[in-house]
Structures are given as C-alpha cells and as structure tokens.
Amino acid sequence: MRPIYPITATYKHPFFVFSCTECNLTLPVDVVFVLDASGSVGSQNFQTMLTFVNKVVDGFPVNQNETHIGLVTFSSGAHLQFYLNQYFDKAAIKQAVSQTRFSSYSIYTRDVLWPRG
C-alpha cells in the first residue's frame, strides 16, 4: 500500500506555489485530483484549476514506478476523467487534464459527495 502524505498547494497569481513538506518524492505515490466542475465555479475558474493541476503535475516524478496521477470531476455526479494507471508520462497527463470539459450543471455538493442511500 502506498503511503498518504499531506500536500499543501496554494495559488498566487500569476505563479503557482507547491510544497510537500512531509513527503519524500522518491517514494511511489498516487495523486488523485478532485475538481468541482459545476456551474457555480464558472468556466474561467475551472480553467484556472486545470492550469493549477498541470503545474502540480510538473512537481512529481511521473512514471510507472513512482508517481501515478488520476483525475475526477463532479457536477451532477462524480465523473472519472482518467485512472491512476492510465498515463505514465507528464505530457500525456497534462494533455488529458487540459482536455477536461467544464460541465456547468448546478449541483448541491453535499448530494454528490454524500449521496442519500
């Protein structure tokens, strides 16, 4: 099982700042980004999030033996954009991130993250 490390990522216009104070990036790690693609976010803010994800991806050693990246968006429901084991190079991941579409559906986040059973 891969370890779980806290990651602090902040946005400072026009630069992204990424730091992982407790992780050793020589260890294998799985990173899944979960992005709000609902109408309340807005298209421009969604594009800012995608740019942020691509900047964070640049900070990891992505390959089959080190870092795996996945992406999930949510709007009217959760939508898997790509699996952790789907891409093993930064260029492919960044292209897939950049091609992620904004859905603009209105939602109640609570209902997506904690559906009533």
Which of 15-24, 50-59, 86-95, 103-112 has the least mean pLDDT? 15-24
Intra-chain end-to-end CA distance of the chain, in Å: 30
The average pLDDT across 94-113 equals 79
Q: Is the alpha carbon torsion for 87, 91, 93, 95 positive or negative?
A: negative
What's the mean per-residue pLDDT of the chain? 79
pLDDT at 47 over 60: yes
pLDDT confidence bin for 40, thresholds 50/70/90: confident
Q: Which residue has the higher pLDDT, 22 or 82?
A: 82
In this structure, what token pair is assigned to residue 77?
A: 């429901």
pLDDT at 58 over 80: yes
Of the chain, the percentage scoring pLDDT greater than 90 comes to 44
For the full predicted model, state whether its pTM sits above 0.75.
no
> How far is the C-alpha of 60 from the C-alpha of 55, rounded, in Å?
10
The average pLDDT across 37-65 equals 91
The average pLDDT across 58-80 equals 90
Q: Pick from 49, 50, 43, 47: which is nearest to 105 by CA?
A: 43
Task: Give the DSSP per-residue string, 9-39.
Answer: EEEETTEEEEE-SS--TTS-EEEEEEEE-ST
Q: Pick from 37, 41, 33: which is nearest to 57 by CA?
A: 33
- Write down the pLDDT at residue 45: 93
Q: Pick from 97, 15, 93: which is nearest to 50 by CA?
A: 97
